[in-house]
Structure 1
Amino acid sequence: MGSRRTKPTHSPPMLDRLEQLFSKPVDGASLAVFRICFGLIMAWHIASYLIPGDGIRKLDFYYVDAVWNFSYMGFEWVRPWAEPWLTIHFVVASIAAIFVAVGLYYRAASITLFLSYTYFFLLEATNYNNHYYLMCLLAMLLSCMPATRRFSLDNLRAARRVRAADASPSPVDGLIPFWPVLLLRFQIFLVYFYGGIAKLNSDWLTGEPLLAPGDMLYTFLDSTIGLPNSLQVNHVCLMLAWGGLFYDLSVGLLLLWKRTRWIAIGLTFLFHLHNHFIFPIGVFPVMAFTSTLIFFPTDWPIQATRWLRCKATRQPVAANSLPKPQPRLRVSRVAVGLICLFVVWQSTWPLRHYFVAGDANWTEECQDFSWRMMLRAKAAGFLVYRVTDPDLQIVDSEDRSQIDWDACPAGTPKAVYASVDSHLFNWNHHPGMSTIYEPALGIRVIYTPTAAESSAIDLVEANKAKITERWQAAFNSEPEIEESISLNEAIAEIRQRIESPEVRRQFHPSTIAQLVGWIDELATAVTEQQKAEASSEAFQVAVTGALDRLSRSQLYSIVRPTLERLHPFALQGGVYSEKRFLVIRDSNRSVDLDDQALLALSHGEPYLVWVDFSRLRPVDWRGLPKSMVTFEDRMLNVVWNHFHDIHSQQLEKFTVRPYLIRQYARHIADCWEESTGRRPEVQASSYIMLNYYFPRPLVDPEVDLAKVAYDPLHHNDWILPRATHRIDLSNLPRSRH
């Protein structure tokens, strides 16, 4: 019998072609330039967290001093190191980035950079940004690439070893397989192209998400070159929206084609230069621009160097000869498979939001890791967490809602914070002694005279005896009683104080001049408000801004006694009612009025604090208790004050993201359970505006967010649908100055 022939096995043609494409030998110069630029940019980006700015490092602000950090799903275990280890971590990451740039101990440095930066990325979910995610991906890809065949210290060290051994120079020939360049081109192309696809929605095509940057650009152009009256802000917004759309969809294709590559580079430079000045996106414009250089021929740095050298010596430019391919460049089948898996993952994962019901710009479902960049103008009107604990909220014998104060968590004041509208509140209905909470001043005690008492010429003397008796009974000291003053009177008194010789000697003239300027702005706002005979949003903003600047001034201790005598809620833009009030203070007390003092003043019964919640800033909320009982809509509620845990950067981001709203609700429930031994329900009321549609609730206020599940791949019903009615912007005024 003859021997049976074995049929030879053949790889699939597609796999063979991919292997040949990936293994094609090319010059490693362009990859080396990519490595150098990326390493230097990453070193600066990471080091910026260690450099103090405005008296504090970003590292301290975001992580060291942060009370609470939001986490990504599945990575809740990633938490900041304790100091000094977190600083050491950032220093090591920055050094690793420099080592990547210079190509020293490259493999270890690139892996260290990838792992350390990914850890940094996972520390805070509110810091999510598409370019941070891109940095993680590029760091991961570079750690697997032969990026040191050109312009690296590792290559230089290898060359010296070759010369010392008198061996063949083949290990240092500068050749790499084509797959690293191809993969980086694919990743950069994908970011732009998918960013363009995401812009194909009705909101973007009307230019509404770009109202703020459009107004900024309009103002700049109008002040520099002048614009015709027919051109308005919305026209600039449309130009930016459609220009950005066409740029994102076309730039990758323009970069791939040799004839249009320089056009693409020019457009990329202008695009990212504009973004650098309009959007707070850090190093991304520089990183994005330098990354596009990978689309040039792989030997472009060598050719550019040769061209410059020949121009300097006035010699003809010689043609470049590529070294012959060598077997060592062959890419294994396993590597080909991994590269294909990466391409498939990056090509499909960003599209998952199309299979989830709802607008991802609103629901945030599948919004991350999808190259959906700068697509919306989204802002929170307010977010309030309410805690429902059956053992805390009881009903008395008269069927009235009451609070079991003994069941409250530690630190909850025995007080009811009653919501008021300072513009409409009628003080005639609340005569006698009251406590109010106001920005920068905290708790104040005022006395509201009755109609008969208000007619007294000397209001202080008419009420001094009864007020002093009650105060002495509570604190065994005599209070200071003064009649309240209007904003105009306060401005005049502040001017007089800062003009005194003592202040002039104590403070620098520039500090005084700055304060005078702020007072002038405030006086102008008060005058305009009085002409309008009604409070306005502009007046409130002016007063709030002036107060914010005054509170940070070195002269605040000089002006505060005057501010403490102001008419109730004047610092929140309340209309001056001409009604007379008395302000009660006690300079003998070493601390401000605290919970125990106010309890003594109310004879041990729960006391009432009037608060205009609608006009409180985040810094004012931080002056209120962490958990407190409020009275709104004729109901008692227990409110958790999240401003104690959340800093300003987190506040801006998490309040518009349902998953993070839910995450913090679970944190509230954990804290409550730890303090009381009872697991409460936590609901959230929020009003969010997206792309200048009318604000509406983002999450269902009736759902227990501490218990409800979150499905990352399907729509969650507790996330409510977005608004369908737009705010009319057709008469948007031009920003003429």
Structure 2
Amino acid sequence: MKRLLFTKIDNSPLIIFRIFFGILVSLECYGAILTGWVRRTLIEPQFTFNFIGCDWLQPLPGYGMYCYFFLMGTLGVFIALGFKYRYSIISFTLLWTGVYLMQKTSYNNHYYLLILISGIMCFLPASRNYSWDATRNPVLKADSMYNYVKWVIVLQLLIVYTYASVAKIYADWLDFGIIKILMLNKASYPIIGEILQATWVHKIIGFFGIFFDLLIIPALLWKPTRKWAFFASIFFHLFNSIVFQIGIFPYLSLAFTVFFFEPETIRKIFFKKKVPYVLKNIEVPKYKYAVYTLAGVYFTIQLLLPVRHHFIEDDVLWTEEGHRLSWRMMLRSRGGKIAFTVVDKKLGTSEIIDHKKYLTKKQQQRIASYPDFIWQFAQRLKKEYAEKGQEVAVYATNSKVSINGKPYRAFIDPKVDLANVKWDYFWHNDWILPSENR
């Protein structure tokens, strides 16, 4: 264990990853402004659907979120330059986590991965070379790092890819139905649009997706297959970038590959003038027990979170309970219909709410088929009427959901007052009607 974790190796992979990471997160943040993502997601909506329990996290008023994302993008530049690195990476991690928790209408797994990686980077000595900090303070400069730096990143990726692969082993992926649905809105793509509609392409995507996720980390670790795995990664991630347009995630995934090649190889490619580090001596630090404890707690959580849905009643594809933070990527397509009825408890009068007046188009899609969105909207209606002095009950009437193109089925119990029922964070919420598999 000491040899595995505390052998000193060349730190070139960590240094170049810091540069790649900083560039990519700055592009993500600046791009979110330029493409209108910030406007559509955080400025135009009357309110956002934050993660339940994080109501205190709200978008800044006016054009404040433009400044927020500009600041994060600038912090990304600072990270790449190694300028005040520790302050920059900690600040970015906190700000990114904040924006992640304040809205989930545009939920993406790579947003969550960015929290984890930037959080890990807070503890790593990534500015010890080729950085503003090391130039200004030569005492900080170093050509080596502990081997555990590499293995922390590798283990995190192994968890992500393995769970992503295992999650695909279910009926709707194996019969390629969900893949067909995902490809339908790609038909207008030039050149490849028509090809993506072919059944044989769906089969290739289906099987390649499972086996790539399952084998890519072991293949990158094993020297005889490393180059082939790297070329497969380039193809896979560029395909995802072009077809699914998922931001920086494919390029971040390619950036991770620097940790799988020999440090000397990375040094020769990116830092030819850097002093080689070839000693590979073992130096056990005084804080070794802190490393064991932090890594043990962190990776235990990472291993348990993706399996928690197995301990929650009913099918996660139906209830969505335990879906997030579990690397269940591109596994379902949800469609829904819903109406909300508000009943005045004193007068007994009722009215049907036109929820479209409150919501953006994307929020409307979410609220019709995701239980936490439905519950949160009921809470908002309760609060709105309370401000007018009315005590109300809120019911989700005619709530129906279709999963992966299957027929619509009743989703929310229309007899349950959602305004006055508590949200269960960890277990099943009984007002979600049973799935056909229950």
The TM-score with structure 2 as length reference comes to 0.91
What SS does the corresponding residue of 2:137 show, helix, strand or coil? helix
- The equivalent position to 1:355 in structure 2, one of 292, 311, 319, is 311
Kindly indicate whether the alpha-carbon contact (under 8 Å) linking 1:110 and 1:143 is maintained by their aligned counterparts in 2: yes
In structure 2, the residue matched to 1:194 is: 163
What SS does the corresponding residue of 1:716 show, helix, strand or coil? coil
In structure 1, the residue matched to 2:231 is: 266
Is residue 386 from structure 1 mapped to residue 341 from structure 2 by the alignment? yes
In structure 2, the residue matched to 1:102 is: 81
Note closer, same or farther for the CA distance 1:708–1:38 as it changes in structure 2 (3 Å cut): same
Is residue 251 from structure 1 mapped to residue 216 from structure 2 by the alignment? yes
What does the per-residue CA deviation read over 1:372-405, in whole Å, with 9 as the maximum and x for residues that have no partner? 100012122x221111224444xxxxxxxxx6xx
What does the per-residue CA deviation read over 1:526-552, in whole Å, with 9 as the maximum and x for residues that have no partner? xxxxxxxxxxxxxxxxxxxxxxxxxxx
What does the per-residue CA deviation read over 1:343-383, in whole Å, with 9 as the maximum and x for residues that have no partner? 11111221111112222122100100011100012122x22
Give the Cα separation in 1 of the matches to 2:280 and 2:322.
Answer: 47
What SS does the corresponding residue of 1:385 show, helix, strand or coil? strand
The amino acid of 1:388's aligned partner reads: V
Q: List alignment gaps of at least 5 residues for structure 2.
A: none
What SS does the corresponding residue of 1:689 show, helix, strand or coil? strand
Kindly indicate whether the alpha-carbon contact (under 8 Å) linking 1:682 and 1:704 is maintained by their aligned counterparts in 2: yes
What does the per-residue CA deviation read over 1:15-65, in whole Å, with 9 as the maximum and x for residues that have no partner? xx3x553222111110111111111111111112332x4xxx432322223
In structure 2, the residue matched to 1:424 is: none
Superposed, which structure 2 residues align to 1:68-467 within 5 Å? 68-159=47-138, 172-215=141-184, 233-305=198-270, 322-323=278-279, 325=281, 327=283, 331-380=287-336, 382-393=337-348
What does the per-residue CA deviation read over 1:165-212, in whole Å, with 9 as the maximum and x for residues that have no partner? xxxxxx533111122211111111211111001111111111111113
Give the Cα separation in 2 of the matches to 1:646 and 1:300.
Answer: 52
Is residue 704 from structure 1 mapped to residue 425 from structure 2 by the alignment? no
**How far apart are residue 331 of structure 1 and its match?**
4.2
Kindly indicate whether the alpha-carbon contact (under 8 Å) linking 2:258 and 2:266 is maintained by their aligned counterparts in 1: no
Kindly indicate whether the alpha-carbon contact (under 8 Å) linking 2:343 and 2:394 is maintained by their aligned counterparts in 1: yes
Give the Cα separation in 2 of the matches to 1:238 and 1:287.
Answer: 26
Kindly indicate whether the alpha-carbon contact (under 8 Å) linking 2:381 and 2:394 is maintained by their aligned counterparts in 1: no
Note closer, same or farther for the CA distance 1:84–1:296 as it changes in structure 2 (3 Å cut): same
Superposed, which structure 2 residues align to 1:681-696 within 5 Å? 681-696=394-409
**How far apart are residue 218 of structure 1 and its match?**
8.0
Give the Cα separation in 2 of the matches to 1:249 and 1:328.
Answer: 33
Q: Percent identity?
A: 28
Give the Cα separation in 2 of the matches to 1:174 and 1:350.
Answer: 37
**How far apart are residue 214 of structure 1 and its match?**
4.1
Give the Cα separation in 2 of the matches to 1:36 and 1:224.
Answer: 33
Kindly indicate whether the alpha-carbon contact (under 8 Å) linking 2:43 and 2:63 is maintained by their aligned counterparts in 1: no
Note closer, same or farther for the CA distance 1:224–1:135 as it changes in structure 2 (3 Å cut): closer
Give the Cα separation in 1 of the matches to 2:282 and 2:169.
Answer: 46
Give the Cα separation in 1 of the matches to 2:111 and 2:192.
Answer: 34
Is residue 713 from structure 1 mapped to residue 426 from structure 2 by the alignment? yes
Give the Cα separation in 2 of the matches to 1:715 and 1:211.
Answer: 30
- The equivalent position to 1:657 in structure 2, one of 370, 389, 409, is 370
**Once structures 1 and 2 are overlaid, which stretch shifts more, 340-349 or 668-677?**
668-677
Is residue 60 from structure 1 mapped to residue 25 from structure 2 by the alignment? no
What SS does the corresponding residue of 2:388 show, helix, strand or coil? helix
Kindly indicate whether the alpha-carbon contact (under 8 Å) linking 1:71 and 1:124 is maintained by their aligned counterparts in 2: yes
The amino acid of 2:332's aligned partner reads: R
What SS does the corresponding residue of 2:419 show, helix, strand or coil? coil
**How far apart are residue 69 of structure 1 and its match?**
1.0
What does the per-residue CA deviation read over 1:133-166, in whole Å, with 9 as the maximum and x for residues that have no partner? 000111111011101123222122233xx6xxxx
In structure 2, the residue matched to 1:488 is: none
Kindly indicate whether the alpha-carbon contact (under 8 Å) linking 1:356 and 1:714 is maintained by their aligned counterparts in 2: yes
What SS does the corresponding residue of 1:347 show, helix, strand or coil? helix
Kindly indicate whether the alpha-carbon contact (under 8 Å) linking 1:685 and 1:700 is maintained by their aligned counterparts in 2: no
The amino acid of 2:198's aligned partner reads: V
Note closer, same or farther for the CA distance 1:240–1:97 as it changes in structure 2 (3 Å cut): same
Give the Cα separation in 2 of the matches to 1:217 and 1:240.
Answer: 14
Give the Cα separation in 2 of the matches to 1:239 and 1:673.
Answer: 55
What SS does the corresponding residue of 1:680 show, helix, strand or coil? strand
In structure 2, the residue matched to 1:417 is: none
The amino acid of 1:281's aligned partner reads: I
Q: List alignment gaps of at least 5 residues for structure 1.
A: 1-16, 163-170, 310-318, 394-402, 404-636, 725-737
Note closer, same or farther for the CA distance 1:670–1:224 as it changes in structure 2 (3 Å cut): closer
In structure 2, the residue matched to 1:313 is: none
**How far apart are residue 695 of structure 1 and its match?**
1.0
Give the Cα separation in 2 of the matches to 1:691 and 1:68.
Answer: 28
Note closer, same or farther for the CA distance 1:154–1:387 as it changes in structure 2 (3 Å cut): same
Kindly indicate whether the alpha-carbon contact (under 8 Å) linking 2:186 and 2:193 is maintained by their aligned counterparts in 1: no
What SS does the corresponding residue of 1:687 show, helix, strand or coil? strand
Give the Cα separation in 2 of the matches to 1:75 and 1:656.
Answer: 21
**How far apart are residue 328 of structure 1 and its match?**
8.1
Give the Cα separation in 2 of the matches to 1:680 and 1:241.
Answer: 45
Kindly indicate whether the alpha-carbon contact (under 8 Å) linking 1:30 and 1:300 is maintained by their aligned counterparts in 2: no
Superposed, which structure 2 residues align to 1:579-598 within 5 Å? none
What SS does the corresponding residue of 2:411 show, helix, strand or coil? coil
Q: Of the two, which has the highest radius of gyration?
A: 1
- The equivalent position to 2:29 in structure 1, one of 36, 46, 63, is 46
Give the Cα separation in 1 of the matches to 2:58 and 2:185.
Answer: 38
The amino acid of 2:61's aligned partner reads: A
What SS does the corresponding residue of 2:401 show, helix, strand or coil? strand
Superposed, which structure 2 residues align to 1:602-681 within 5 Å? 638-681=351-394
**How far apart are residue 685 of structure 1 and its match?**
2.6
Kindly indicate whether the alpha-carbon contact (under 8 Å) linking 2:321 and 2:428 is maintained by their aligned counterparts in 1: yes
Give the Cα separation in 1 of the matches to 2:246 and 2:193.
Answer: 27
**How far apart are residue 220 of structure 1 and its match?**
7.0
Kindly indicate whether the alpha-carbon contact (under 8 Å) linking 2:342 and 2:392 is maintained by their aligned counterparts in 1: no
What does the per-residue CA deviation read over 1:508-564, in whole Å, with 9 as the maximum and x for residues that have no partner? xxxxxxxxxxxxxxxxxxxxxxxxxxxxxxxxxxxxxxxxxxxxxxxxxxxxxxxxx
Q: CA RMSD, aligned part only?
A: 2.7
Note closer, same or farther for the CA distance 1:321–1:145 as it changes in structure 2 (3 Å cut): closer
Give the Cα separation in 2 of the matches to 1:224 and 1:150.
Answer: 43
**How far apart are residue 267 of structure 1 and its match?**
1.4
In structure 2, the residue matched to 1:29 is: 12
